[in-house]
Each structure stands twice: as C-alpha cells, then as structure tokens.
Amino acid sequence: MPITIYDVAREAGVSMATVSRVVNGNPNVKPATRKKVLETIERLGYRPNAVARGLASKKTTTVGVVIPDIANAFFAEVVRGIEDIASMYHYNIILSNSDKKTEKELSLINTLLEKQVDGMLFMGGEVTEEHLHIFKTAAVPIVLAATKDEQNMFPSVDINHQEAAKDAVQAFIEAGHQKIAMISGPLTDPLTGYARYQGYKEALESANISFDDNYIRIGDYHYDSGMDAMRHFLSLKGKPTAVFAASDEMAVGAIHEIQDQGYLVPDDVEVRGFDNVPISSMVRPLLSTVAQPQYDIGAVAMRFLTKHMNKEKISEQTVVLQHQLMNRKSTK
C-alpha cells in the first residue's frame, strides 16, 4: 500500500496538519518538529499526492504544452524556454506531440483540459475554428506560442514572419541579385508558409523585380524538399543566383544539391535559410539565415501564461519578438 500522510503523522508523533505544513513549506513549524517530520518522510519514502492536493487547492500546478514536432530543433529550443520559466514559477509541464495533425491537436487539447491543467501553451500550424471553439470553452488560460489566431482573440508570442522574409530577400537585392528564387513552406499554412511567401513577393515588388513562377517551389520544411526544389532551379536556363529557403533544413538540402551538381556556394549561388537551428552552424559553408528568438518565444509565452493564471495585469495580448539576419558563409 502507498505511504499516506496519516502514516507519516503516526510515525512522527505529530498531527496530519503539521505534516501538511512541513510538506508545503509553511514556516510556522518548530525546527525540531520539521526535522523529525522530514526524517520520517525520508525513511518511509512518502510522496505527496498531487491529485489530492490539486483537489483541495483547485490547482494542479501543471501546464499542458502541445508541440507540432518534437524532433524539430526549433520547437525543442522553444520548449526549453517554456520549461525554464515553468520551473522558476514552480509549474510542471505535460508535453504532447501532435505531428502537425489537426485531429491529433484537437484530441490532445481536450485530453490536457480533462487532466485539469492550470493553463495551456499551444504551438501548431493554423488555428482553425475547431481550435477556437475548444479554446473559448476552456476554463483555463490559453497562450499561443510561435503561432497565433488570425483574429488575435487569444494571447500569442511570435515574430512577424512576413517582415522577416522580406528582410531576407531585400538583403539579396541590396547585394545586387535579380534572379532570386524561394523554397517556400506550404501556402496553406497562413502564419508561416504563406506569410513568408508574401514577404518574398513584397521584397521583389518593392525593387521592381518581376515575379517568376519558375523561381518558386513549395517544400515541406524538410531536407529532401530543399534538394528537390534546388534541382529544379538548377535545371532552368536562367538559373537563380540567390535562393531563400523558408527553413534551415530546406536550405541545407539546397546547398547539398548545388554542391552535388558541381557548383559553389556562395560563388555560384548564395543561400539563406530561416530559423537559425543548430544545423545552420553544422553545414559547410556555414548557413546564413533568419534567426528566430526560439528560446525567448517559449520563455515569454510561459511568463505570459503565468500572468494569466495568476490574474496579473497585462498590458497587451500580442507579443511580437524581433528577428535577426545572421550572415555567415553561404552568402557573400
């Protein structure tokens, strides 16, 4: 049978209320009594029942986190930021991987709410009407990280993806490039894929450079789609001299395809990625990229959530963090 608070109280010769005060760090316990209770807890191997404590306080000190791809280095760093701040404020997290599948996302959200989490952080792709319905009916605060809903109904922490992509392409234009290709993410993804694509187009329009469908290929943010897109670009009569990829992984795929075909980066083709995940510093040449503040997105989102859970005053619902162009060796 599991050891209970009653067993600890009996063995230590104190009341259950005293044991409870010791466990909860209440200072109103004599040092000698505290020492005796803690020694008894250690000897018996007692572990407080979090479920029972949650029922009493109506708080579980647990936060649910839905992540789209646990193998993706970008989201791993976001979660590190979440966990560090959660630990600072004495919250535990339950991490759930959705595999970027809407049905699985909705199921995980409901499951976490059923587990009586005190709040939830959601990372995913598009926030659909189905998502919004669940969020609106949830009895706990919801904060969106690295995504947002189009109506800005829920608190969110992210960057401006369109502006970030525009800056990346403008850097190529300022370097003298006219033939600039893009390996985009799915355009059905309005918050990252389509927004970055729009940033690419906006930069071209600002410089009076004609948009060419041949210079656009849609990938899935992964390595192979970057190689496939670059293979197409290199088959063109007017090969691009610069390529902007909507993820670092696709950018690395593009670099390897360029090299496999006997061309040089950046001498023949310059390449810039997006995210600044660890792979950008592992490939040769080192990848120039658009850096997202991954850790900060997670940390700020978690702090945002603690404010909502503790009903602290909040001045704004939407936090837009700053991106940064990282110039390395894949660009001149």
The b-or-e profile of 194-212 (16+ CB within 10 A means b, else e) is bbbbbbbbbbbeeeebeee
As a whole number of angstroms, the distance between CA 105 and CA 111 comes to 10
Helices 16-23 & 5-12 angle (0-180, nearest 10): 110
Q: Long-range CB contacts (< 8 A, 24+ apart) of 312-316?
A: 314/155
Handedness of CA 47, 49, 54, 56 (dihedral sign): negative
Scanning the structure block, which residue is given the tokens 């063995």?
11
As a whole number of angstroms, the distance between CA 329 and CA 159 comes to 25
In this prediction the pTM is 0.82
User: Residue 165's closest CA among 150, 146, 183?
Assistant: 183
pLDDT tens digits in sequence order for the chain, 332 residues long = 678 888 889 999 999 889 888 887 788 899 999 999 999 988 888 877 655 555 455 577 899 999 998 888 899 999 999 999 999 998 999 999 998 888 999 999 999 998 889 999 999 778 889 999 999 999 899 999 999 888 889 999 999 999 999 999 999 999 999 999 999 999 988 888 999 999 999 999 999 999 999 999 999 999 999 999 999 999 999 999 999 999 999 999 999 999 999 999 999 999 999 999 999 999 999 999 999 999 999 999 999 999 999 988 888 889 999 999 999 999 99
User: Residue 61's closest CA among 83, 89, 80, 85?
Assistant: 89
Residue-level pLDDT at 56: 53
> Do the Cβ atoms of 325 and 290 come closer than 8 Å?
yes
Residue 44: burial class (beta carbons within 10 Å; 0-12, 13-18, 19+): middle
Scanning the structure block, which residue is given the tokens 């939407």?
318
H/E run at residue 181: strand 180-184
